[in-house]
Amino acid sequence: MPLVGEELYSLLIPLREERLIIPRSCVAEVVRYTPTDAATADSWLCDTIGWRERDVPVVSYETLLGLQPPAAGGRTRVVIFNPLSGAAECPPYGVLAQGFPQMVRVNSEVVQLDQDYRAAEAAPVICRINMLSEHALIPDLEMLETCITAALAAA
């Protein structure tokens, strides 16, 4: 993540045990999560919600990472992502968050690669970074969108 002399406005998305860090421009909106009748806690593609007159698949990143899935509660939110590719195959999608994302400014002075972190095999994670007293995962959104597209096509 070379950011020589630049700052990147990013969002820290709180998960149950981890945090994701993503560029702010990837996010369309953050909405309150109310599980639907179709919600499944045991699947990484755990629900579908209505957003702007569309059905939006909801992802549990924890489940993709092999961690304990989140429990829906009063602080649970869905972070709605615009697909990176802009391709029609992947619709906007949501990621469950355990609270509101936090805006942070990231630059090369505060970011270091966490050399000790190893993601689960086939997990959509590029790496983990350390920032001052925080750590966060950089998700592989292209891989995630490929997984979403394949799961929706198989359904």
Q: pLDDT tens, 65-110?
A: 888 877 778 889 999 998 886 555 788 999 999 999 999 988 888 8
For the entire predicted model, the pTM comes to 0.88
Domains and CATH numbers, the chain: 8-154 (2.40.50.180)
Q: What three-state secondary structure class fits 124? A: coil
Determine which of 27-31, 61-65, 85-89 has the lowest per-residue pLDDT on average: 85-89
Taking 3-state DSSP, the helix, strand and coil percentages for the chain, each rounded to the nearest 5, stand at 15, 40, 45
Higher-pLDDT residue of 87, 53: 53
CA–CA separation, 129 and 139 (whole Å): 11
Residue pLDDT, tens place only, 38-50? 888 778 999 999 9
